[in-house]
Structure 1
């Protein structure tokens, strides 16, 4: 599970595209869950200003709805914090934060 910020076109409304302070990108952010082969399992698109852990909740809910047999999700460090406990309690998922070396 990871996210990627992308620039929005000039005609995109400001209500759906904001700046990502960390990456200095004005636009949108796509949050993805992929399998071990890189095939997309679930996607949530938000304004770039939305924190990863806040967008992680609807993303994991969608993943659970579509794929009931998944139990372990590896996630980027941006998803650390209260989302780990929430995923275990509400979705029955083990959210393991992977630290980059």
Structure 2
């Protein structure tokens, strides 16, 4: 899942459980690049280091900045930028269909994520108008 700085969904991709997140990031960044050409900086978790960073820079002109946890940290520490995706996931978990694995096809689950995010965004818009 890729979100903007407000936590609003930009791209989502659901894969099987045996696919590593780092491997799924390649087509997800490709999807992001196709839809939002002006995005140039992507903040990522420590698991996305390695050839993904160089590939994104060379192939898609995306700068992938990895936010890592240092070894001297103990317990729970909020890391900059990483909490934005976690917050979006908590918003989406309000939807009953996403709490359990009801869907058998990844495309259907992606659609349910998009539908749930649409509900989150429309509720915000409706609150602002009232």
| TM-score > 0.5, shorter chain as reference | yes
Give the secondary structure class of the aligned counterpart of 1:44: coil
Equivalences, count:
70
For residue 78 of structure 1, report the CA deviation from its aligned partner. 1.4
Unaligned runs of 5+ in 1: 1-31
Structure 2 unaligned regions, length at least 5: 70-76, 78-130
Moved over 6 A (4+): none
The equivalent residue for 2:49 is: 80
- Give me the whole-angstrom Cα distance separating, in 2, the residues matched to 1:53 and 1:89: 17
Q: TM-score scaled by structure 2?
A: 0.52
What is the deviation of 1:53? Answer: 1.2
Alignment of 1:1-16 (within 5 A): none
TM-score (norm 1): 0.66
Structure number having the greater helix percentage: 2
